[in-house]
């Protein structure tokens, strides 16, 4: 009888060309898709490839996206963009997506991901791809250069940490609250080199947008990647993105497949979470930090500016105006999301509340552009990290929260429980 395997183990076994794998095994995997962006890509991994003097192993399996320096007017950033364009043209690469949004959102939006794929990305938050039932890991420039040259990468098969979220999330509580709760409970290295598999009734009820938040921030747990078992919602989302036929039946974990540990979170009892400076693991119920003044509220990044994120924020601010003197920024995660939010009135609702809509891109998440925090400024953001100096000068301070929590703070000028507002519109 075949050995029962988790979904991640099945994908790794397929990529390695073996019948089964066990945590701790070291195997060489064929890469189905590689993604790189303007920061880690042509100017780093691409340069290493050129120094090796070998071509890209399979041009059709490489996607290059510009997002990190697209909103920065600095000449050095412009030079990085120019280099990316020139390198892509020189290699005659067919899949170049410049200025369309943040790579972790743009990649699936364009139909490149499917369940069962083994993928790598030149960015730590490439783990986002696990929301689609793919095994996708973030790797550094040296490893990425090796993949570009050979199409292969070695993997030590990780153990699986299963997160079982029971019940149903209450109005005003989002996937960001689930992952911040987890960061607070087990710490930023609490899942070191593990696969975080999100399961349970509450996860199955989440939209794909919300599942992307969970897998994205597996990186904040030190995980190798995060993954959600694909289902009908996955297939429908990918079909709309043009991914073609999607196999969700094959890519299911086996009953009885052993996992290292299971952590249960009571979704129905979960309160909105906020992480204090300067670490995502400084997370606690929003009431712990309620009343803390903030001078900026930022809804952006791959983690917190997808279409559903923007709609959640709009539900909170509808009919209200931002606090006097507070800077309120919204940067949709992609151009497609921006256009959809403009069409359905979401952006207008946010603008009516005083939000300034910024161009899509990594922007404020990495301390670039208008949303960069100023000296000694305190902000709250829907982004994934709040380490010292990431979003602004070392003197600045950043709290993390869901789009609902960020929007609530924008209205009051202080950290506020979004449930005070959200119920009015449901």
- Structural domains for the chain: 7-266 (3.30.499.10), 274-425 (3.30.499.10)
Alpha-carbon span 177 to 270, nearest angstrom:
8
- Going edge to edge, which strands form the sheet with 261-266? 225-228, 195-199, 160-166, 261-266
Give the pLDDT confidence of 70-112 residue by residue, as tens digits.
988 889 999 999 999 999 999 999 999 999 999 999 999 999 9
pLDDT at 302 over 50: yes
Q: Write out the E strands in 325-389.
A: 327-330, 356-357, 378-381
Query: Which residue blocks in 31-74 are alpha helix, DSSP H?
Result: 47-52
3-state secondary structure 201-239: HHHHHCCHHHHHHHHHHHHHHCCCEEEECCCHHHHHHHH
Q: Which residues contact 92 (CB under 8 A, 6 or more apart)?
A: 59
Q: Read off the pTM.
A: 0.97
Alpha-carbon span 34 to 144, nearest angstrom:
8
- pLDDT computed for residue 1 by the predictor: 66
Query: Which residue blocks in 17-94 are alpha helix, DSSP H?
Result: 47-52, 75-91
Q: What is the percentage of the chain residues whose pLDDT exceeds 70?
A: 99
pLDDT at 424 over 60: no
Q: How confident is the model at residue 426 (pLDDT cuts 50, 70, 90)?
A: very low
Alpha-carbon span 134 to 416, nearest angstrom:
36
- pLDDT computed for residue 73 by the predictor: 84
């Amino acid at each position: 009888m075949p050995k029962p395997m988790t979904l991640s183990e099945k994908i790794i076994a397929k990529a390695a060309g073996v019948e089964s794998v066990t945590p701790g095994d070291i195997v060489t995997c064929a890469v189905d898709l590689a993604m790189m962006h303007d920061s880690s890509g042509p100017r780093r991994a691409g340069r290493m490839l050129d120094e090796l003097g070998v071509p890209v192993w399979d041009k059709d399996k490489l996607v290059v996206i510009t997002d990190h320096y697209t909103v920065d007017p600095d000449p050095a950033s412009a030079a990085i963009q120019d280099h990316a364009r020139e390198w892509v043209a020189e290699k005659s690469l067919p899949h170049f997506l410049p200025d369309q949004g943040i790579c972790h959102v743009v990649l699936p939006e364009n139909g490149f991901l499917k369940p069962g794929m083994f993928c790598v990305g030149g960015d730590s938050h490439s783990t986002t791809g696990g929301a689609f039932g793919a095994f996708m890991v973030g790797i550094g420039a040296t490893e990425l250069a090796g993949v570009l040259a050979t199409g292969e990468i070695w993997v030590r098969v990780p153990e699986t940490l299963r997160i079982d979220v029971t019940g149903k999330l209450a109005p005003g509580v989002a996937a960001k609250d689930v992952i911040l709760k987890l960061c607070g409970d087990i710490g930023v290295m609490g899942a070191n080199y593990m696969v975080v598999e999100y399961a349970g009734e509450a996860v199955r009820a989440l939209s794909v947008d919300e599942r992307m938040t969970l897998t994205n921030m597996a990186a904040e747990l030190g995980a190798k990647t995060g993954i959600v078992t694909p289902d009908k919602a996955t297939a429908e989302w990918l079909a709309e993105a043009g991914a073609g036929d999607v196999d969700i039946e094959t890519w299911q974990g086996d009953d009885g497949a052993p996992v290292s540990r299971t952590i249960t979170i009571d979704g129905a009892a979960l309160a909105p979470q906020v992480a204090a400076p300067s670490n995502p693991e400084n997370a606690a119920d929003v009431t712990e930090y309620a009343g803390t003044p903030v001078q900026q509220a930022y809804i952006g990044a791959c983690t917190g500016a997808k279409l559903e994120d923007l709609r959640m924020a709009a539900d909170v601010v509808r009919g209200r105006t931002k606090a006097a003197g507070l800077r309120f920024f919204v940067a949709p995660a992609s151009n497609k999301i921006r256009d959809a939010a403009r069409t359905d009135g979401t952006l207008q609702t946010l603008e009516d509340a005083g939000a300034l809509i910024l161009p899509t891109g990594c922007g404020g998440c990495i301390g670039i552009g208008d949303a960069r925090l100023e000296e000694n400024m305190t902000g709250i953001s829907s982004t994934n990290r709040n380490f010292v100096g990431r979003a602004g000068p070392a003197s600045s301070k950043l709290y993390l929260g869901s789009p609902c929590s960020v929007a609530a703070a924008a209205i009051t000028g202080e950290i506020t429980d979004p449930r005070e507002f959200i119920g009015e519109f449901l």
